[in-house]
């Protein structure tokens, strides 16, 4: 079963999921990219859904405000119209998962970010 993870940072909400790599490897790559670009990340929350990640196009992560667009395009080639019956992001059920948050904290600390562990 796939997984979609929603991570709320102070300035943005990002989504990650199990695709060709597990979600935590995608998050680790994202964190290091942010660090190398000098982007500040302040972790607020980590939630998980049993809804599968976008299964098309090799998507690694996605800002929350673009995720419905990705669902609309799921299973479509570039020149195809949008999927007529896309999954709806607002209907995905996300719940706080302590173990997932701890994993993200550890990844952020490994990249040199200071993290509030509460």
pLDDT for 113 equals 96
Q: Which strands sit side by side in the sheet containing 4-9, from one edge to the other? A: 61-63, 13-17, 4-9, 43-49, 95-96
pLDDT for 117 equals 75
Whether 91 has a pLDDT exceeding 70, the answer reads yes
Instruction: Count CB atoms within 10 A of the CB of residue 30.
Output: 19
Would you say 8 and 63 are in contact if contact means Cβ atoms under 8 Å apart? no
CA neighbor of 1 nearest in space, from 52, 38, 56, 48: 52
CA-based radius of gyration for the chain = 15
d(CA 76, CA 60) in angstroms, rounded, equals: 17
pLDDT for 79 equals 87
Summarised one tens digit per residue, pLDDT across range 51-82 is 999 977 788 999 999 999 999 998 888 888 98
Question: Global pTM?
Answer: 0.93
């Amino acid at each position: 079963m796939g997984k979609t993870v929603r991570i709320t940072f102070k300035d943005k909400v990002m989504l990650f999921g199990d695709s060709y790599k597990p979600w935590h490897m995608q998050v680790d790559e994202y964190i290091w990219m942010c660090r190398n670009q000098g982007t500040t990340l302040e972790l607020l929350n980590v939630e998980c859904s049993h809804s599968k990640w976008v299964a098309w196009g090799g998507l690694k992560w996605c800002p929350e405000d673009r995720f419905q667009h990705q669902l609309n395009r799921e299973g479509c080639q570039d020149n195809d119209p949008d999927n007529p019956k896309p999954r709806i992001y607002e209907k995905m059920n996300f719940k706080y998962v302590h173990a997932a948050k701890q994993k993200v904290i550890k990844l952020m600390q490994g990249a040199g970010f200071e993290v509030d562990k509460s």
